[in-house]
Amino acid sequence: MSESFLIVGLGNPGSKYTETRHNAGFWFLGELLRELNATVKPQTKLHSELVRLEALGRTCILAMPTTFMNHSGQAVRAVMDYYQIYSSNLLVAYDELDLSPGTVRLKQGGGHGGHNGMRDIFRHVPEHDFLRLRIGIGHPGVKDRVTDYVLSRPPSGEELEIRRSIGSAIAVLPEVLGDQLANAMKKLHTNSPQTAEK
* Segment 24-64, tens digit of pLDDT: 999 999 999 999 999 999 999 999 999 999 988 889 999 99
Domain ranges of the chain: 5-188
Q: Tens digits of per-residue pLDDT, 93-117?
A: 999 999 999 999 999 998 888 889 9
Question: Is the Cβ–Cβ distance between 49 and 64 less than 8 Å?
Answer: yes
Can 22 be counted among the known catalytic residues?
yes
Taking the CA of residue 185 as centre, how many other CA atoms within 13 Å lie in the half-sphere pointing to its CB?
A: 13
| 122-140: pLDDT as tens digits | 999 999 999 999 999 999 9
Cβ contact 79:9 at 8 Å: no
User: Which pLDDT does position 110 carry in this prediction?
Assistant: 86
* Number of neighbouring beta carbons within 10 Å of residue 132: 24
Superfamily of domain 5-188: Peptidyl-tRNA hydrolase (3.40.50.1470)
How far is C-alpha 128 from the chain's CA centre? 15
Residues 6-17 pLDDT 10s: 999 999 999 999
pLDDT tens-digit series, residues 54-97: 988 889 999 999 999 999 999 999 999 999 999 999 999 999 99
Task: With beta carbons less than 8 A apart as the criterion, state whether 8 and 65 touch.
Answer: yes
| Integer Cα distance of 105 and 136 in angstroms | 8
pLDDT over 50 (residue 197): no
Cβ atoms within 10 Å, residue 194: 14
Q: Report the alpha-carbon distance of residue 177 to residue 184 in Å, rounded.
A: 10
Instruction: Decide if pLDDT at 162 tops 90.
Output: yes
Band (192; pLDDT cuts 50, 70, 90): very low
Q: What is the pLDDT of residue 198?
A: 45
Q: Which of 22, 47, 71, 115 is catalytic?
A: 22
One-letter amino acid identity for 1?
A: M
